Structure 1
Amino acid sequence: MQARNARIGMILFCVYLLFYGGFVGVNAFAPEMMETLPIAGINLAILYGFGLIVLALVLALIYGLLCQADVEPPTMAEAKADAESKEAGE
C-alpha cells in the first residue's frame, strides 16, 4: 500500500510541476504576458499564483481521498488485542 501511495503522490507532484513549470516559463520567456489584465483588473501573475495555491490544495485533497480508500478498519479481534496490549503496558 505504501508503494501505491508513493506512486499516487509522484503522479500528483508531476501534475503540479507541469503547472509550476508553465508559471516559471512564462515569467522567464514572456514576462510582459504576466502584466495583462484578463479578469477584473487583476494581472495574470496574481491569478496564476493563486491558481497554483488552489491547485496544490485540490491535489492534496485528491491524494488524501485516494490514499484513504485502501485503509480498512481493524477487526474486533485486532481492536481487542490492541486495547489489551495498551492496558498491559500501562
Structure 2
Amino acid sequence: MLHEPAAKQEKDSASDWKSKLGIKLFWLYCVIYMGFVGIAVFATELMKKPVLAGANLAITYGIALIVFAIILGLIYNHACTKKENEMNSEKEGA
C-alpha cells in the first residue's frame, strides 16, 4: 500500500526562495520576542506599567506579538504566492 499524495504535485521551483524568506521572518520574530523576554527578565517593574487603555506593557506587548505573527504570516503568504506566480509564468514563457 503506497502512501503518497492523492494529487500529482510538480516540483516547487520557489522552494529554496520560500525557505530563505521563512527563516528571515522567523529570526525577525525571534528578535522582537527576545525584547519581550529581556524586559520580563531584566526590567520586571516596567512590565507592570500601564501603557495602552489601562493595559500594562506585558499585555500590550503580548498582544502585539500575536498580531505581529499574523502580519508576518500574511506577508509570507503574499510574497510566496507572488514568487510562485512569477516563476510559473517564466516556465510557461520558456
Q: TM-score, normalised by structure 1?
A: 0.77
Give the aligned partner of residue 20 of structure 2: 7
Give the aligned partner of residue 53 of structure 2: 40
Give the aligned partner of residue 65 of structure 1: 78
Structure 2: give runs of 5+ residues left out of the alignment: 1-13, 90-94
Runs of 4+ in 1 over 3 A off after TM superposition: none
Structure 1: give runs of 5+ residues left out of the alignment: 76-90
Matched letter for residue 72 of structure 2 = L
Q: CA deviation at 1:71?
A: 2.4
Structure possessing the higher radius of gyration over alpha carbons: 1
* Structure ranking higher on relative contact order (CA contacts 8 Å, 6+ apart): 2
The size of the alignment, in residue pairs, is: 76
Structure having the higher helix fraction is 1
Structure having the higher strand fraction is 2
Q: TM-score, normalised by structure 2?
A: 0.74
Percent identical pairs in the alignment equals 41
Q: CA deviation at 1:70?
A: 2.3
